[in-house]
């Protein structure tokens, strides 16, 4: 005896592992089986009575509906396969076009690289041009040319940070043109700094 008692008239408990959605093939298999069982059982009687019975007509209509649904599904499958074939063909043609484009670019780059290598080889193989100097000066004479006198040494340039530094160096007052004169030493701008 089982662990759970079922009361008379109560529905049987549903097993825990039952599949909630019926299988597609059950939709047409069950009516077909009922139809075949009906034919087997009613074979001994009058066939016209069996064909006229409401159960037979119901089973026959369900069978017809199931066959129509199967035909529609088959049409949908054929259409989906056709779309898949078209999409695959389009994708393959795009891929082939892209590969051809990349091959053309690669060939153009290889050609340019070959041209650059040839130019570099030609440039390195050619001798360097040597400058030819034509002298328009007369031939040197026996006496040497006179040498220009050296410039006179310039006085070192002086710089004073402020007037105190100029006074400490003994340069104050500093006038325009004197070494060390600068605008920051001449605040009134009269040309004489550190007055």
Give this prediction's pTM.
0.32
Return the domain boundaries, the chain: 24-125, 159-195
**pLDDT value at position 34?**
81
DSSP 193: E
| Distance, CA of 180 to CA of 158 (rounded, Å) | 4
Beta-carbon contacts of 63 under 8 Å, excluding residues fewer than 6 positions away, are 28, 31, 32, 35
SS3 168: helix
SS3 102: helix
pLDDT tens digits, residue range 80-114? 999 999 999 999 999 999 999 999 999 999 999 99
With vertex at residue 119, the alpha carbon angle to CA 113 and CA 104, rounded to the nearest 5 degrees, is 25
Backbone angles phi, psi at 96, to 5 degrees: -65, -40
Beta-carbon contacts of 191 under 8 Å, excluding residues fewer than 6 positions away, are 175, 176
CA distances from 5 to 11, 12, 75, 115 (A): 11, 10, 50, 95
* Confidence check: pLDDT of 127 > 50: yes
């Amino acid at each position: 005896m089982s662990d759970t008692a079922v009361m008379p008239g109560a529905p049987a408990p549903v097993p825990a592992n039952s599949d909630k959605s019926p299988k597609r093939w059950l939709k047409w298999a069950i009516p077909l089986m009922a139809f075949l069982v009906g034919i087997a059982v009613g074979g001994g009687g009058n066939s016209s009575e069996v064909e006229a019975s409401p159960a037979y007509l119901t089973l026959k209509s369900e069978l017809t509906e199931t066959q129509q649904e199967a035909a529609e599904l088959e049409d949908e499958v054929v259409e989906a396969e056709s779309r898949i074939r078209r999409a695959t063909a389009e994708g393959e043609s795009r891929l082939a076009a892209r590969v051809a484009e990349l091959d053309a670019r690669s060939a153009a780059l290889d050609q340019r690289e070959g041209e650059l290598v040839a130019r570099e080889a030609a440039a390195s193989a050619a001798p360097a041009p040597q400058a030819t100097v034509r002298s328009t000066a007369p031939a040197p004479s026996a006496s040497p040319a006179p040498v220009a006198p050296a410039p006179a040494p310039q006085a070192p340039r002086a710089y004073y940070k402020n007037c105190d530094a100029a006074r400490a160096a003994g340069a104050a007052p500093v006038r325009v043109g004197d070494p060390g004169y600068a605008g920051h030493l001449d605040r009134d701008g009269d040309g004489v700094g550190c007055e």
